[in-house]
Amino acid sequence: MSIHDTSSPQGGQEPKQPQFVGPTRSAFSLKVAETTLTRMGISTQTPLPSGTSESLAPTRYPTPEQSEPALSVPGTDILLTMPLDEVERLLEVFQEEVETVYPFLDTGELVSKAADIRAFVDDSPDRPAVNSSSVDLKDVILAKVAIATSIVVEAHGKNHASNKLVEPIKHLIYQLSIDAQADLKVIQIMTMISIYYFFSDEELLAWRNIGIAARAALEMGLHQNLSLVENFPDPRDRSLAVRVFWCVYVLDRRWSFGTSLSFALFDRDIDPNLPEPSDDFPYLRCLIGYGRLCSKAWDALPPFSAQSQTIPKDTVAFLDFTAQNWSKSIPEDLQLRHLPQDSTSAPPSRASRRLQALLYLRGNHIRTLIHRHHVISSASIEAEPQKARLVVDIAIDSISVLVHLSETSDIYMRQQSAFNYFLLSAVAVLFLAVCHGSRMFAEPCRDSFLSAVELVKGFSRQGTASRRLWKSIRGLLPLAQRMGLRGDESTIRRDINDGQLLVGSTGRMLGVESMADGQRSGSAAVPGPEFGGLSSTQNLGTMEFGAAAPDAFSLSNDLMFLFDAFGQTDDTWANGLQDYMGGNEQQPAIMGEEEISRHFWGLI
């Protein structure tokens, strides 16, 4: 079996999601979508109508039907089936892809111990002698999870090889997490498995395990300068402990924003005199400042149950000022620069370029969170059009950076979990802007949106990004179909290159504008499109949607359909929602707008 076999382990089991759904998480969009559709008389929980082919519903990612191989052969450790030079190479991949961002581990030491680590797990009678003082079980666990993470990075997803490395040691990791005595290696292991889960699209498990690491760090007193000095008198050991703590801190912020679940570490509990990593780790120092900025933004964002998502102007001004100052504080060699084509300057290394892009996108993302309320309704856009343009410009800029990164390197492809997070946030902002201010934003946003759609086509179907996007748009598809594109049983195929619709078997080409005109004039409506393989005659509201998304091409077509549907007229949503809700004139349009907006809050 190839190490990079990409077939899904464990029969395609879907990653688990938190039961709580908060406003920074994509599943928040789904819950609001279901609430909206229920008020409109549509239930997404209704079973498939009798006689309907189950194949019409989005299905889980296909997996081989044959029995999966055993996780391990008794008496044979997976490390022993890998050549030593391959073990060392994969550890070096981890060093390049992960340690450069989160230096909580000296991977070079694991590389130097690779032979001893393999010998440690060899239970054959003629195994080579092992220096027991240099290697222990925790080193083996660290090495195995690091290698598994590298395999996931290179294969663009979890597979049997990575699974065979991690599954047999899960019980050991669990035992370490509940041991009475925590030590630095335990924190490193919990951080390592958290990162592995993130790259495997298991963000909930990533959040859960970094929380364990955070609590172990508190137990060890890594958050207080006095206990840090007492427990780590050696400066070299203390330097590593400092890096471990701050890596846990920044990962705690990152996973919390991704899951919309609370932090495990709070700034008020951290000693203000606690040392930060040395200047040898400039990227981590930048992330620490960003983590503190995230704490302020988290406190400022309206809570889950808030009636309004507006943030006070003075708070917005302060946060935006702080965010821009953070971006300006990034060292020169980590600043993202757009070099002209005729530039004679040497381009940055691949590692530097990745760090530059990540920092730049983080700065854009936090400003998107700060300003997103300016595009959640037509009224908010009309009240402050300049602020609305600002958040749209930031989103367009993020898409531009991601597209360039994808076209000119393999950086995006190797770390889709990290970069898709920023892409989905930008796509959501463009959706909201076009929905609530089509005359202002439809045309300026179209090219960037098309570029984003091309990136969406590269999504893994079973990946987190495609599931998040599908969950956010699926409730809007029947609504858009009713309000702008309803009709007979014909199907529509979209040519996303020119924004035209190919209708039925006649091949008649219609632009979105002509369809909208026909709708307003009372002429025959345009037939409804196919959504992710669903027929237009199928009531999408009655479908039982699975967790898996349709294929990337269908998903990208659905995105372009929604973009054009949103961009028809400024009052489309007001009129369409009112019509869709049975002509209830007592229902204010703004309520519908806000609920439509919430479809995309989880992506921002």
Q: Which of 276, 292, 312 is the last residue before a domain boundary?
A: 276
Cα separation, 365 vs 14, in Å, equals: 27
Give Cβ neighbours of residue 382 (< 8 Å, ≥ 6 apart).
Answer: none
The answer to whether residue 379 sits within a structural domain is: yes
Give Cβ neighbours of residue 262 (< 8 Å, ≥ 6 apart).
Answer: 256
**264 and 308 housed in the same domain:** no
pLDDT at 446: 86
Token reading at 132: 């027991």
Residue 552 has pLDDT above 90, yes or no: no
Query: Rounded mean pLDDT of 423-430?
Result: 86
Cα separation, 273 vs 500, in Å, equals: 61
Residue 293 contacts residue 54 (beta carbons within 8 Å): no
Query: Rounded mean pLDDT of 42-49?
Result: 42
Query: Rounded mean pLDDT of 154-158?
Result: 85
The answer to whether residue 5 sits within a structural domain is: no
Name which of 57-66, 174-183, 293-302 the model is least confident about: 57-66
**271 and 306 housed in the same domain:** no
Length of the chain, in residues: 604
Residue 244 has pLDDT above 80, yes or no: yes
**398 and 457 housed in the same domain:** yes
Q: Which of 276, 293, 328 is the last residue before a domain boundary?
A: 276
Give Cβ neighbours of residue 531 (< 8 Å, ≥ 6 apart).
Answer: 474, 477, 481, 540, 550, 554, 558, 561
Say what percent of the chain tops pLDDT 70. 60
User: What is the distance, to the nearest Å, from the Cα of residue 299 to the centroid of all Cα atoms in its chain?
Assistant: 21
Could you tell me which residue, 102 or 10, shows the higher pLDDT?
Answer: 102
Confidence band for 128, pLDDT divided at 50, 70 and 90: low
Give Cβ neighbours of residue 178 (< 8 Å, ≥ 6 apart).
Answer: none
Q: Is the dihedral of CA 367, 371, 373, 374 positive or negative?
A: negative
Could you tell me which residue, 197 or 341, shows the higher pLDDT?
Answer: 197
Could you tell me which residue, 491 or 553, shows the higher pLDDT?
Answer: 553
Cα separation, 17 vs 202, in Å, equals: 8
Could you tell me which residue, 439 or 506, shows the higher pLDDT?
Answer: 439
What's the CA angle centered on 516, arms 515 and 517, to 5 degrees?
Answer: 90
- The per-type count for the chain, helices as H runs and strands as E runs, is 25, 3
**90 and 164 housed in the same domain:** yes
The answer to whether residue 307 sits within a structural domain is: yes
**312 and 171 housed in the same domain:** no
Q: Which domain holds residue 120?
A: 78-276
The answer to whether residue 3 sits within a structural domain is: no
Q: Which of 261, 276, 291 is the last residue before a domain boundary?
A: 276
Token reading at 146: 């690091």
The conformation of residue 167, written as its DSSP 8-state character, comes to G
Q: Please give the mean pLDDT across all residues of the chain.
A: 74
Amino acid identity of residue 481, one-letter, is: Q
Half-sphere exposure of 136 (CA within 13 A, CB side): 6
**190 and 89 housed in the same domain:** yes
**What is the SS3 assignment for 280-296?**
CCHHHHHHHHHHHHHHH
**261 and 306 housed in the same domain:** no
The conformation of residue 6, written as its DSSP 8-state character, comes to -
Instruction: Write out pLDDT tens, residues 427-469.
Output: 888 888 887 888 899 889 888 988 887 887 776 555 666 666 6
Instruction: Write out pLDDT tens, residues 343-363.
Output: 556 778 899 999 999 999 999
Residue 231 has pLDDT above 90, yes or no: yes
**359 and 232 housed in the same domain:** no
The answer to whether residue 4 sits within a structural domain is: no
pLDDT at 603: 62
Amino acid identity of residue 318, one-letter, is: F
Query: Rounded mean pLDDT of 377-392?
Result: 93
pLDDT at 180: 66
The answer to whether residue 565 sits within a structural domain is: yes
Token reading at 573: 């949503």
The answer to whether residue 470 sits within a structural domain is: yes
Residue 274 has pLDDT above 70, yes or no: yes
**14 and 121 housed in the same domain:** no
pTM for this one? 0.75
**195 and 253 housed in the same domain:** yes
In angstroms, what CA-CA distances link 357 with 35, 380, 403?
Answer: 37, 31, 11
**14 and 124 housed in the same domain:** no
Structurally, the chain folds into a number of domains equal to 2
The answer to whether residue 288 sits within a structural domain is: no
Query: Which of 1-10, 23-32, 127-136, 309-318 reaches the highest mean pLDDT?
Result: 309-318
**39 and 114 housed in the same domain:** no
Query: Which of 477-481, 499-503, 559-563 reaches the highest mean pLDDT?
Result: 559-563
pLDDT at 387: 96
pLDDT at 302: 84
